[in-house]
Structure 1
Amino acid sequence: MGSSFEITVVASDEEIGFINIEEGIAEVRRIESLISSWDMESQTSEINKNAGVRPVKVDYELFKLIERAIQISELTSGMFDISVAAMDEVWDFDGSMTSFPIPEKIEEGVSKVGYKKIVLNSTDHSVFLSEKGMKIGFGAIGKGFAADKVKELLVSKQVPGGMINAAGDITTWGTKATGEKWLIGVDNPNRDSRYFTWLPLVESSVSISGIYEKYITFRGKKYSHYINPITGYPASGIKKVTVFSKSAELCDALATAIYIMGKEDGLQLINQLGGIEVIIVDNFNRIVNSDGLILKTAE
């Protein structure tokens, strides 16, 4: 998935532990073969190749992921949208861009974006992108989905505890071998110290999104790889978003949406939802958090 995965398990001995980890790796590869838009043989690529042509029948698992993605699009007023993948033809964050895209190209890309143009048929589990040039991609939800699936698999194998870290999309279960809770450190942008607080992850998940991940620089200004699906331009105003909930998939998607929505709207959304919390760091290094989160500064 273009990212590193770290799988930690609690086991009675190393041999069993390594077997569990290998099973987790195999599950990541299975998910990647299903959702990768870079794998030309994947069902996701098949959907994209047939945009504006015909519906494509997919596995129930993929169908339900797309269905949940559309629900999150509705929840976030379109700020999360898997069809923003069409903007990959406009923006490139691999270091190859040497100039800012012209407005006409951005407008053309935006015209191919829109989660409401994704047509789902629950009878035969088919997916249809209604316009040619449309694409879907799971860069903002796929790693969280994979982390959840690996956790689900290992729990079914009676692994008593573990942590899956999919490049900042983290989920845990059980405790460490010592019986201690799994902890996530939140770094402090205002100080040189590494973390300003530690938070326990008890049968829970977290996702971290920020401009430090991928960006391009033009005329001394950094532009994040988080593209606003409505405007077609990179989002700005936030440096880092950390979302907590039971599901790594939901954390992954909401962290992206909040980054694009902005501090005020993102905070307002989370405060209306149950069982989800957020910490936001804006471009001025000001830290705000949702109402249900009590932060204690680390020593």
Structure 2
Amino acid sequence: MARINYRNVVLDPARHTVMLKDKGMRMNLAGVLQGYGIRRARQVLDKLGIKGGLLNGSGDILCWGRQADGSLWRVAIGDPDHPNSISSWVQVTDVAVVTAGNYEQYFTSGGKVYGHIINPATGLPATGLRSVTIICSDVELADCLDEVVFVKGPVEGLAFINQLKGVDCTLITDDNRTLVSKNMQVNYYRNDAPATPVTAPATQP
């Protein structure tokens, strides 16, 4: 915990170097590297004249243009209770759809589940959410925001997204409620009633 401090990560743009000031500090880019990689891959495809496509980098989706039949891209959101199944989907283009979840990478000890997304304020796995899906035009931004919302939790996380322009989200809570941001449109496979957009913490279902 004593080594968690982004201010001790020193970047030198001129030399393209990174220095970690405190002895014993380590840095892992797994939480944000996929978004960068997808953005660069899209640049390559643009230079080749590709007018439409869908890139998937470990669950980070970036789509643009249309499918061959002219339809929008359909991107699925997984169901945490049923691996390899779908809870909902969105039809989109020219956006990124990025999901963070704790239902694939976790362990159980003493009957309690510990996910892999860590709250830097506590040093323990974040709680309150099982899945966070962010939709916005910038894949790298989406790749950063999903973990931010996951750590903030359902109330603060949803309120945070509702303050951002051009960003939407759908959340699945620990007690299996589905919450959506105020402008989010999502299609459901479940038989229960669709989630209602939430504009403020006090009105959450």
Question: Aligned-pair distance for 1:188?
Answer: 5.3
Question: Aligned-pair distance for 1:139?
Answer: 0.9
One of 16, 19, 34 as aligned partner of 1:128: 19
Could you tell me whether the CA contact under 8 Å between 1:172 and 1:182 is conserved in 2?
Answer: yes
Which residue in 2 is equivalent to 1:225? 116
Equivalent residue runs for 1:43-192 within 5 Å: 110-187=1-78
More strand by share: 2
Letter of the aligned partner of 1:118 in structure 2? V
Question: Aligned-pair distance for 1:187?
Answer: 4.4
Question: Aligned-pair distance for 1:115?
Answer: 0.5
Cα pair distance change 1:270/1:225, threshold 3 Å: same
Question: Aligned-pair distance for 1:264?
Answer: 0.9
One of 249, 252, 258 as aligned partner of 2:143: 252
Which residue in 2 is equivalent to 1:274? 165
Per-residue CA deviation, residues 79-109 of structure 1 (Å, 9 max, x unaligned), is xxxxxxxxxxxxxxxxxxxxxxxxxxxxxxx
Task: List 4+ stretches of structure 1 deviating above 6 A.
Answer: none
Separation in 1, partners of 2:81, 2:3: 40
Separation in 1, partners of 2:185, 2:110: 39
User: SS in structure 2 opposite 1:143?
Assistant: helix
Which residue in 1 is equivalent to 2:89? 198
Separation in 2, partners of 1:277, 1:178: 27
Which residue in 2 is equivalent to 1:208? 99
Cα pair distance change 1:188/1:121, threshold 3 Å: closer
Which residue in 2 is equivalent to 1:285? 176
Equivalent residue runs for 1:2-13 within 5 Å: none
Structure 1 runs not aligned, ≥5 long: 1-109
Letter of the aligned partner of 1:156 in structure 2? K
Q: Relative contact order (C-alpha < 8 Å, sep 6+): which is higher?
A: 1
Q: What count of residue pairs does the alignment treat as equivalent?
A: 189
Could you tell me whether the CA contact under 8 Å between 1:151 and 1:172 is conserved in 2?
Answer: no
Question: Aligned-pair distance for 1:212?
Answer: 1.6
Structure with the greater alpha carbon radius of gyration: 1
TM-score by length of 2: 0.84
> Is residue 2:130 matched to residue 1:239?
yes
RMSD of Structure 2 on Structure 1 (CA): 2.1
Separation in 1, partners of 2:57, 2:2: 32
Structure 2 runs not aligned, ≥5 long: 192-205
User: SS in structure 1 opposite 2:26?
Assistant: coil
Per-residue CA deviation, residues 258-289 of structure 1 (Å, 9 max, x unaligned), is 11111111111111111111101101100111
Separation in 1, partners of 2:153, 2:121: 14
Percent of paired sites with the same residue: 31
TM-score by length of 1: 0.59
Per-residue CA deviation, residues 16-39 of structure 1 (Å, 9 max, x unaligned), is xxxxxxxxxxxxxxxxxxxxxxxx
Could you tell me whether the CA contact under 8 Å between 1:112 and 1:133 is conserved in 2?
Answer: yes
Could you tell me whether the CA contact under 8 Å between 1:161 and 1:176 is conserved in 2?
Answer: yes
More helix by share: 1
